Amino acid sequence: MTVNIRQHLTDLSTPLVMGILNVTPDSFYSGSRAMTEEAVLRQASQLIADGADIIDVGACSTRPGSTPATADEEMRRLDMALPVLRRQWPDIPLSIDTFRADVARRCVEQLGADIINDIGGGEMDKAMFGTVAELKVPYVLTHSADLTSSSTPVEDVCLWLAQRLDELHLLGVADVLVDPGFGFGKTLEQNFELMSRLSCLQALQAPLLVGISRKSMIWRTLDCAPEQSLNGTTVLNTIALQAGANILRVHDVRAARETISLYNACFSHSA
């Protein structure tokens, strides 16, 4: 399985690591925040040194209970961060974490972003799918519907993603990655049911991106803080790899890289 990033077919047979860089003051994990050019360079340098294949830049927190930044504020933060990253590392793929089509367009056309990572799944801005089709860049389709009253959450996630995959393909979008949206519109129990049956998403025949890094399903279950949830993240990332995850989106790149290396060492010779 491959994805076309920066006009290059990137092989996903070995999972990739997407490192999180938040240019927001209110993201739920303080260790991912960078609000100045110096902090952006420092944070990105560490992500790359630890083995990040992609850097995912977010400028609008979507954590539960938060008030999203305005489009102008989101864009102001990205105007600060993306040029710095692109000048320093001209070849590393940059993903823009936004649900706004206009923001995505400007980041791709003017600021050098290569991937659109939309936690809204095209629902928070109805112009997003058409914009992605015009821009011809890889798109991360995230499940974000409210399933809290559903008795069949895994089936509902698969159907929701399949319907939107069809819509995107009809529009001519060739490279779509699916993200089951852990933590978005799901109860704690539903999140774990989805994790336990994650391999069901292989039926979609699309690259699978999993982002469970330090999320509340971990620290609420373990009765700890996000800062203490790295071990739990590693456990769930291992389960995600067993289910066929192609990209791990994480705050802690070195730990994810080591997880992938050990997983591959165990299973690379299996039939």
pLDDT over threshold 80, residue 230: yes
pLDDT over threshold 50, residue 232: yes
pLDDT digits (tens, 9 = 90+) for 89-112: 999 999 999 999 999 999 999 999
Mean pLDDT of 146-175: 96
- The answer to whether position 122 is within a domain reads yes
- The answer to whether position 271 is within a domain reads no
Active site residue 186: no
pLDDT over threshold 70, residue 244: yes
Any idea what the CATH number is for the domain that residue 48 is in?
A: 3.20.20.20
pLDDT at 29: 47
Residue 89 sits at the vertex; the CA angle it makes with 47 and 177, to the nearest 5 degrees, is 65
Structural domain including 165 reads 14-265
- The answer to whether position 4 is within a domain reads no
Residue among 215, 220, 254, 257 flagged as catalytic = 215
- The answer to whether position 5 is within a domain reads no
Burial (CB < 10 A; 0-12, 13-18, 19+), residue 215, is buried
Sequence-ordered alpha helix ranges (H) in 58-174: 71-88, 101-111, 128-135, 153-170
Active site residue 63: no
Sort residue 204 into left (φ over 0), alpha (ψ -120 to 50) or beta. alpha
Distance, in Å, from the CA atom of 57 to the CA atom of 101, rounded to the nearest integer, reads: 15
pLDDT over threshold 90, residue 77: yes
Distance, in Å, from the CA atom of 199 to the CA atom of 195, rounded to the nearest integer, reads: 8
pLDDT at 27: 55
User: Looking at the 3D structure of the chain, how many domains does it have?
Assistant: 1
Distance, in Å, from the CA atom of 94 to the CA atom of 16, rounded to the nearest integer, reads: 13
Helix (H, G, I), strand (E, B) or coil at 238: helix
- The answer to whether position 170 is within a domain reads yes
pLDDT over threshold 90, residue 87: yes
Q: How confident is the model at residue 65 (pLDDT cuts 50, 70, 90)?
A: low
Structure tokens at 262: 């050990």
pLDDT over threshold 80, residue 129: yes
Name the packing angle between helices 153-170 and 188-196 (round to 10°): 70
Distance, in Å, from the CA atom of 22 to the CA atom of 38, rounded to the nearest integer, reads: 14
Look up residue 31 and give its amino acid: G
Average pLDDT, the chain: 93
Range in 3-7, 26-30, 65-69, 174-178 with the lowest mean pLDDT: 26-30
Residue 165 sits at the vertex; the CA angle it makes with 162 and 168, to the nearest 5 degrees, is 155
Distance, in Å, from the CA atom of 71 to the CA atom of 74, rounded to the nearest integer, reads: 5
- The answer to whether position 2 is within a domain reads no
pLDDT at 248: 98
- The answer to whether position 93 is within a domain reads yes
- What does pTM read for this prediction? 0.94
- The answer to whether position 8 is within a domain reads no
Distance, in Å, from the CA atom of 265 to the CA atom of 87, rounded to the nearest integer, reads: 36
Mean pLDDT of 202-215: 96
Look up residue 114 and give its amino acid: D
Residue among 214, 249, 254, 257 flagged as catalytic = 249
